[in-house]
Chain A
Amino acid sequence: MLYFIVQNISLNKNKHCLTFIYLILTLKFNLINMKTKLFKNLLLCCAIFLFAYTQAQTVSGNVSDADGPLIGTNVVVKGTNNGVTTDFDGNYTINNVASDAILTISYLGYLTQDINVEGRSTIDIIMVEDTSELQEVVVTGYITQTRGDITGSVSSVNMDEAVKVPVINVAEALQGRVTGVSVVINSQPGAAPKITIRGFGTSNNTNPLYIIDGVQTLDANILNSINPSDIEQMNVLKDAAAAIYGARASNGVIIITTKSGGYNMDKAKISVDFYTGTSKATNLPGLLNAQQHGDMIFQSLLNDGAVVTHPQYGSGATPVIPSQLIGVREDASVLPNGTYWPDAITRNAPTSNLSISMQNGTETGKYYMSVNYLTREGILNYTGFKRATTMLNSEFKVLDNKLQIGEHLNVSYSNTRAGNGGAFENSIRSSPLIPVYDDNGNFAGTYSNSAGLGNARNPASQLFRSRNNFNKSLRVFGDVYLKANITDDLTFKTTLAGSVQSFDTRAFNALDPEHGEPISTNTLTETDLLNYEWTWSNTLNYKKSFGEHALNVLVGIEAVEESGRGKGISRNGYLFETPNFYLLSNGSATPNIAYAYQYTNTLWSVFGTANYNYNRKYFATATLRRDQSSRFKGDNQSDIFPSFSVGWLLSKEDFYPDDALINRIKLKASYGELGNQTLPGENLTENVSALNEGLANYSFNGTSISTGAILASVGNPDLVWETSISTNFGIDLTAFDNKLNLGLEFFKIETKNLITPDNSLISTTAIDAAAPLVNLGDVENKGFELSLGFHDKTSSGWSYGIDLNLSSYKNEVTALISDYQIGYTGFRGGAVTRTEVGRPISSFYGRVVEGFDANGRFLYKDINGDSITNDEDRTYIGSPHPDFTYGINLTAAYKSFDTSIFFTGSQGNDIYNYEKIYTDFPTFFNGNRSTRVLNSWTPSNTNAALPALSQTITNNETSPNTYFVEDGSYLRLKNLQIGYTFSDDISNKIGMDSFRIYLQGTNLFTMTDYEGIDPEIISNDNLTLGVDNQIYPISQIYTFGVNLKF
């Protein structure tokens, strides 16, 4: 480093050495404690080259932007290290300026200006915001940096593009738009998407840490409480850059900054965004019609050698579709082709959204406020999501601008009507013979188990009967902060942030007399939950530029506390099934307290970070954080997380040609240690026993009941938190006059001490307690991320852009406390996934189907060569990890028209289509099946997809095997939007600054070979990835919208 400084000085020796000496002396005075060898050497250098002298003067003035004075602007005499920063009022005074010198004025986020002094002593400067991406100010934790200066891996979402999709939860906007971030969208309205950053490490908490202004939380649902259009900026810290958040950062950090007003605005800016439209279910499954269903039943009986007879289809040579259900107590007419149940429970559902925001600011105060109302009816009948939010952000300058006091406040209320979770699956396996309603207009059903109509509850009735259920959530979160400018360079900030959330849910389980297994009492269940979180952060920030050197140092302390309390109560026996009667006091049976809990956890931290750059050419950052967590015991409570990163703007070197095609090249590298202290529960270090009405009480005399307790969870006092070691190398290129941007990053994340419940420790031969969390082993994720953008305008008025991003990781388990671990064991036929050293986490494990035997049963490969087919013949049969995931965004505009097309996809991952257990096999014999069973084995169709039809599952055919493993690759047209902006003439005439209308469609098509409903799979947990067992149809949404600005 010293070499470069010396070289730089030597180039300028002729003119400004005196100034330089002055600066050095000033610096020595100011930074008396930073006396180093460096400065001594600099002094020496300067003395040697002291042989010229030019007339010097003092220059002063004021620096401002459109909104008012700019504090902390750098004013430097070009080519020297003589520089100052502006004070609270934007004023500066700089001495020893040669009359023919050039002043360079720079400020983060603004275009740097060179001004000829030309002998003037007063120069006022108005700064212009730099809208180029490199100059964008990015919030990277407790500090801000310009994008071009960042040395870590920080991705940002283009919010303008992202909110074009009608998202409910802003996390959806990350999908396909940010490299390294995998977003799986849950199609149920109001359900949070699943976000994973850079592969799969932990199988415990995988949520990134969310920072919303001052609020810090791991609760992914918090994004349901924010209006996406209130968001100014969303940045994702993926590598060591996240280390400033230490023990919570190993899943990455998503930093959301909400909008604020500007100081000195001349008038309030109002924007109104509105859309309305409709959504409908798409990609509904192909099911058997009544005739096919009857044929399937008969063929199954025939194959089994059973008596071919059926309560509905008769005993003839071929099945006869009855005109009325036979042997049931109600008159119920059968539709000629039978009922296609998915149609009976889905609908075209209206959706609309209105957002109004207003911002303004005076010299000493500014605000942003917004209101939003969103309603998204669900594509399943009687489901939906409604949300109202309001946000108020404001900031005030007091005490001669020395103090800034501000707050962010977001209040949101939502109600999710989730319907009945089993309804869609029941629609797939309901007999096609059953009509939705009987001839009297009541719901039809299976009536009796011997009627041969299966056992699925009428899904239309399930949705209807759950229509009065609600899940209300009220959430208030935000922060208040005080920023004190202690000196020009030193700022103290204290932020107190909090979040209070209350849940209030009601679920009524109504009688279903039409069902073959009718429930005999109705039940009201109410749950109330209250969660509190607060964070108090205090930071001291020292920011100083001296000449070409820029230093930004921050130290801080922080305390976080999360606590909550909740209960669920249910009661049976309601006389009336009307919502007016739904009070716990109106039930007739003894109420049951299903659960009650209370928890608190805390985190206490000290941290510091230092960013240094020389001439914005060489960059270095070092960060250190110490965290102490209540979730662990003794010495394991605290740990220290260091990180370092460096960057080199190669293209700024003198040897780099100015006219090169690639006009900017930046190299960066980082190393950091990050933690994951979040655990699914409290007090996991000790054994916890609990009273349990349902599972521990007993009657010793046959009448009165004694209270008992059981070990509820096994503790692990040795538990330590997970640590990830993250290394990252990146290159950023800009070419063709900034038209082309390319970013390429290579990363390796080694996660050690993976926290997972050890189900092999508390296995099937153990106590019936929850397994302890243990440090299971180590996992490595290696990969690369590519982002490529090209944006241009032609002289003919076209502007267009292509943005492509691609992310890839390879996952490998490098250590494990046991030979292998198996995933979720609750599936029919046992665990589907297995994790073993040397393989990616959670691979599919089962038998290999090689074909059919002479009877049309699956033939399994003899893996161990012992000529016996049994459980020993299982092997690895697929991987849920994709080769890569990608997103493509195309934009174009011509005159008043604009359009954007957005694709997202995944390539090379397998999906275990567990749902086929119900749709392809006789798990529920009389229920409906997929049309895939039409290609079942028969003596004349031996090249079939499925084995011979049968009444029962034999030969282990639904135990994990390759039949269920499918290629999960897909390409989805996520969004297409066409907009038209009215000319200024028109919009001004009606009193607007801008007036745009648009049409857009979401999820327009999906190209995939996957046979399930949706290749986007939400996984149970990270030891059970890629298993499709919770289906919900995809919504296609069409909307018309307007954007108005006043």
Chain B
Amino acid sequence: MKTKIGYFLLMLVGVLACSEDFTETPAVGALSDQALQNAVGVDLLLTGAYSVLDGASNNGSGWTTSGDNWWFDAMSDDAHKGSTDGDQADLYLLEILDWTSGNPYLLGKWKALYAGENRANAVISLIGTIEEGDFSVQLAEARFLRGHYNFELQKIFGNVAYISDENYANVEFNQPNPGPIWDQIEADFEFAMSNLPSSQGTDVGRPNSWTAQAFLGKVHLFQSDWGQALSLLTGVINSGTYALLPEFVDNFRLAGDNSIESVFAIQFTADGGQSFNGNQGGTLNFGGPNGWCCGFYQPTQDLANAFQTSSGLPLLDTYNQTDVANDYGVTSSEAFSAHTGPLDPRIDYTLGRRTIQYNGWGEMIGKDWIRAGFADISGPYLPKKNVYYVGEDANMGTGGWGQQHSGINYHIMRYSDVLLMAAEAAVETGDMNTALDYVNQVRSRAKNMSYVQNLAETGDAANYQIELYSSFGSQDNARKAVRFERRIELGMEGHRLFDIRRWNNGTTTMNDYIDNESRTNPNIATKFIYDYEAKHNMCPIPLTAIDLSGGVLQQNPGY
């Protein structure tokens, strides 16, 4: 009997003795903070900070978070959201200027950008905990990325919370949004400019010091610091690091990926699997041939009209007095006569219109390639810059269900943008000659590039006429010309809404646009039930963000 009890006690003691180890279990497959405190760890987290440039994060991916800002064009006069009105009704509401704090697009974008900001903070914070080694380049890259994410937030929402790397380290993400954060954005780009090398070698997707300088110039441009903007951007131009490609269209084709014109791009890559590094945010923006889904991101009539020329120059004030021939309401089986008036040749690299070759897939046949109906807001055009060219299979990625995950890089900034920003700063500082030079460099490339050919490949597809400006005349005229050049050079590249806002002419531009657009699509007048007002210069802070902050975040005025 006693031995039995003895055995039991022995067992009890035995179990007691091993209990301390018993309740220590390993985290399998997980990296602890400590495991990352080395060069490999810095690179892993830094790569993660780049990875969210496309918007795909743990907080969600897809079109609401898209890194290429395509749907901000649908909130401007460049594009309709596309497809039928009820398809992605939340984006429809953004397009018709019915902006509410509950809109999931705004929340998606907001969260994606803060994910980016804090992935950059993770790198900055980690580098601060490593004693050995030189990580100044990685630190500069991380601060460049943080600057970019903050700049995007600033452009979209106006009053945003700044989360520092100290905030990150202390898990203090709930910061107020009392006003713009330009100073913090500038500080990051300045640091990046001084600490990045002038070239990153074959890692063309990483920013170099010139990239940072160009972004810093843009930040000053957005604050109307014309002198600083001009000097920084001119520095980039004069560095000789960048140049315009001979072919405008190469910026949107395989051949032009990471070309000399690319200042900073989201490196989209298709692969044989589910193409996680393809453009998931732009997955809806395919229409036309091959049964692609889903017919979004349709250019406006207003944008088409902007490509009209007279004596090779754009119709700065009168481009909406005539319309480029429009097949709204015309079925594919009905006859349609294409526009015969003079056009800037960039039109047919920017938007797909009936009778014209569509990126090598053949003739754009009108309605049958348009997903929207005639009662919808979206009109008759298709996008081109984000759409594959025939034969460029390396750019064609598929997602889990076979949706398009394009490998076409999105240029956050390309060299012609730098030239036009510099031109704009030059105009505002009264230096018309520099402005003229930069604008004409851009126009000269457009003039000398190959034009889209007719279907028989026997000549130009349309009546293309483009010439250089001989002079701008007044400063006011120069301003108009530069701004107009931005639109036709950079149309459908996600810049337009932010340009209109910083020029502070959103109300005029957008309200004129709604009137003009209604001419070819009468539905539009009834559907835009709101005007563009001052409040639209900033998007509403997402309600979920405010609620989760416990009221620390304040709503923008007017919402």
Instruction: Give me the interface of A with B, judged by CB distance under 8 Å.
Output: 301, 304-307, 309-311, 448-450, 452, 454-455, 484, 486-487, 492, 509, 517-523, 538, 540, 557, 559, 561, 570, 572, 589-592, 596-604, 628-630, 637, 682-683, 686-703, 705-712, 714, 759-770, 772, 818-820, 822, 825, 828-831, 834, 870-871, 922-926, 951-954, 956, 959
Q: Is the pair B202, A701 in contact by a Cβ cutoff of 8 Å?
A: yes
Once the chains are docked, how many angstroms separate the CA of A809 from the CA of B490?
A: 63
B93 adjacent to chain A (CB < 8 Å): yes
Taken together as a complex, chains A and B put the C-alpha atoms of A507 and B44 apart, in Å, by 33
Please report the C-alpha to C-alpha distance between residue A19 and residue B554 in the assembled complex, in whole angstroms: 85
CB contacts (< 8 Å) of A951 on chain B: these are: 85-86
**Contacts beyond the supplied A306-B527, A767-B119: 9 A-B pairs with Cβ under 8 Å:** A307-B523, A449-B84, A455-B86, A689-B30, A693-B276, A695-B276, A711-B122, A765-B553, A768-B112
From B12, which residue of chain A is reached at the shortest CB distance?
A557
- The 8 Å CB contact of A700, one of B27, B119, B121, B203, is B203
Most chain B beta-carbon contacts within 10 A, residue among A591, A700, A770: A700
The segment from B73-81, B100-108, B228-236 that touches chain A is B100-108
- Chain A's closest residue to B526 (CB) is A305
A residues less than 8 Å from B224 (CB atoms): none
Please give me the residue from chain B that is nearest to A696 by CB atom: B48
A557-B27 in contact (CB<8A): no
B204 interface residue per 8 A CB criterion: yes
**Can you list 28 A-B contacts with CB-CB less than 8 angstroms, sorted by A residue number?**
A307-B375, A449-B372, A519-B401, A520-B403, A538-B11, A559-B22, A561-B22, A599-B25, A603-B23, A689-B31, A694-B276, A695-B61, A697-B47, A697-B51, A699-B205, A701-B204, A702-B258, A705-B271, A764-B107, A765-B161, A765-B549, A768-B111, A768-B118, A768-B119, A822-B547, A830-B544, A952-B89, A956-B102
Contact A763 B173 (CB under 8 A): yes
* Contact call A708/B30, Cβ cutoff below 8 A: no
Set A307, A448, A694, A763: member contacting B549, Cβ < 8 A: A763
**Once the chains bind, are B402 and A519 in contact (CB under 8 Å)?**
yes
Nearest CB on B from A863, distance (A): 15
Q: Which residues of B contact A688 (CB under 8 A)?
A: 27, 30-32
Query: Which B residue sits closest to A958, measured CB to CB?
Result: B102
The number of inter-chain residue pairs (CB within 8 angstroms) is: 346
B 521-559 contacts with A by CB, 8 A: 522-523, 526-527, 529, 542-551, 553, 555, 559
The main secondary structure of chain A at its interface with chain B is loop
Given A764-B544, A768-B111, verify A591-B401 contact (CB < 8 Å): no
Q: Which chain B residues lie closer than 8 Å to A703 at the CB level?
A: 269
Contact of A708 among B48, B93, B371 (CB under 8 A): B48
Q: Are B173 and A766 in contact (CB under 8 A)?
A: yes
By the criterion CB–CB under 8 Å, are B526 and A590 in contact? Answer: no
Q: Is the C-beta of B391 less than 8 angstroms from some C-beta in chain A?
A: no
Q: In the bound complex, do residue B23 and residue A712 qualify as a contact, i.e. CB atoms below 8 Å apart?
A: no
Look across to chain B and name the residue whose beta carbon is closest to the beta carbon of A596: B29
- Knowing A304-B526, A822-B548, A825-B548 touch, does A925 contact B85 (C-beta < 8 A)? yes
Would you call B400 an interface residue if the criterion is a C-beta within 8 Å of the partner chain's C-beta atoms?
yes
Contact with A along B455-496 (1 / 0, CB 8 A): 000000000000000000000000000000000000000000
A629 lies within 8 A of B23 (CB): yes
Cα–Cα distance between A709 and B31 once the two chains are bound (Å): 9
Kindly provide the distance from the CB of A799 to the nearest chain B CB, expressed in whole angstroms. Answer: 50
- Residue numbers in A under 8 Å from B45 (CB-CB): 689, 708-711
| B370 within 8 A of partner (CB) | yes
Determine whether the beta carbon of A700 is less than 8 Å from that of B204.
Answer: yes
- A592:B559 contact, CB within 8 angstroms: no
Contact B267 A702 (CB under 8 A): yes
Q: Output the least CB separation between B93 and chain A (Å).
A: 7
With the chains together, A819 CA to B546 CA distance in Å?
13
- Secondary structure type dominating chain B contacts: loop
State which of A628, A764, A767, A924 has its C-beta within 8 Å of the C-beta of B548.
A764
B185 at the interface (CB under 8 A from A): no
Which residues 213-235 of B sit at the A interface, judged by CB distance below 8 A?
Answer: none
Whether the pair B115, A768 counts as a contact (CB closer than 8 A) is yes
Complex CA–CA separation, A923 to B90 (angstroms): 9
Write the nearest CB–CB distance from B193 to chain A, whole angstroms. Answer: 20
In angstroms, Cα B32 to Cα A306, docked, is: 58
Listed stretches B287-295, B300-308, B337-345, B422-430; interface member: B287-295
Q: Is the CB of A763 within 8 A of B545?
A: yes
Q: Is B239 an interface residue (CB 8 A)?
A: no
Q: Closest 5 CB pairs between A and B? A: A708-B47, A521-B402, A520-B402, A590-B273, A768-B115
Known: A689-B30, A695-B52, A764-B545. A450 touches B372 (CB 8 A): yes
Asked if B175 lies at the interface with its beta carbon under 8 angstroms from chain A, I say yes
What chain A residues lie within 8 Å of B140 (beta carbons)? none
A329 and B89 alpha carbons, distance in the complex (Å): 26
A706 contacts B19, CB within 8 Å? no
Q: Cβ of B130 < 8 Å from any Cβ of A? A: no
The distance from the CB of B412 to the nearest CB of chain A, in whole angstroms, is: 14
B48 with A604: CB separation less than 8 A: no
User: Are B203 and A570 closer than 8 Å at their CB atoms?
Assistant: no
Which of B51, B85, B202 sits near A695, CB closer than 8 Å?
A: B51
Specify which chain A residues have a CB less than 8 angstroms from the CB of B44 in the assembled complex: 689, 691, 696, 707-709
Among candidates B11, B96, B400, residue contacting A592 with C-beta atoms closer than 8 Å: B400
> Residues of A contacting B559 with CB < 8 Å?
870-871
Considering the complex, give the chain A residue whose CB is closest to the CB of B50: A698
- Contacts A307-B523, A687-B33 given; indicate if A763 touches B548 (C-beta within 8 A): yes
Knowing A449-B83, A709-B44, say if A601 contacts B25 (CB, 8 Å).
yes
Tell me, in angstroms, the Cα distance from A449 to B121 when the chains sit together.
43
- Is B28 touching A598 in the complex (CB atoms < 8 A)? yes
B414 proximal to A (CB < 8 A): no
Contacts of A830 in B (CB 8 A): 102, 543-544, 547
- Are A637 and B174 interface neighbours, CB within 8 A? no
Nearest Cβ on chain B to A114's Cβ, whole angstroms: 34
Closest-CB distance, A629 to chain B (whole angstroms): 6
Nearest B-chain residue to A706, judged by Cβ: B47
Q: How far is B523's CA from A444's CA once the two chains are assembled, in angstroms?
A: 30
In angstroms, Cα B559 to Cα A828, docked, is 18
A599/B4 contact (C-beta < 8 A), A520-B403, A709-B36, A925-B86 known: no
What residues of B have a CB within 8 angstroms of the CB of A926 in the complex? 84, 86
- B548 — which chain A residues lie within 8 A by C-beta? 759-760, 763-764, 822, 825
Q: What is the bound-complex CA distance between A701 and B203, given in angstroms? A: 5
Q: CA A698 – CA B555 in complex, angstroms?
A: 35
- Give the docked Cα–Cα distance between A309 and B84 (Å): 14
Choice from A628, A690, A702, A954 contacting B205 with Cβ under 8 Å: A702
Task: Verify if B58 is at the interface (C-beta below 8 Å from A).
Answer: yes
Chain A, Cβ-Cβ closest to B294:
A517
* CB-based nearest A residue for B19: A604
Contact, CB under 8 Å: B371 / A448: yes
Residues of chain A within 8 A of B544, CB atoms compared: 764, 822, 825, 830-831
Let me know if B8 and A538 touch, CB within 8 A: yes
Does residue B279 face the partner (Cβ distance < 8 Å to A)?
no
User: How far does the Cβ of B406 sit from chain A's closest Cβ, in whole Å?
Assistant: 13
A523 touches B107 (CB 8 A): no
**CB nearest neighbor in B for A684:** B27
Query: Closest CB of chain B to A50's CB: distance in Å?
Result: 36
Q: Is B392 an interface residue (CB 8 A)?
A: no
Chain B residues 348-384 with CB under 8 Å of chain A are 370-376
Q: Closest CB of chain B to A525's CB: distance in Å? A: 9
Residues on B with C-beta less than 8 A from A307 are 375, 522-523, 526
Q: Which of B371, B400, B527, B545 has the most CB of A within 10 A?
A: B400
Interface contact B27-A763, CB-CB below 8 Å? no
A668 to B16, CA, bound (A): 36
B257 on the A face (CB < 8 A): yes
Assembly CA distance A487 to B33 (angstroms): 56
* From B12, B27, B269, B526, contact of A306 by CB (8 A): B526
Is B310's CB within 8 Å of the partner chain A?
Answer: no
For A454, what are the chain B residues with a Cβ–Cβ distance below 8 Å? 86
- Partner among A301, A604, A637, A702 whose Cβ is within 8 Å of the Cβ of B409: A702
Is A682 a contact of B276 with CB atoms below 8 Å? Answer: no
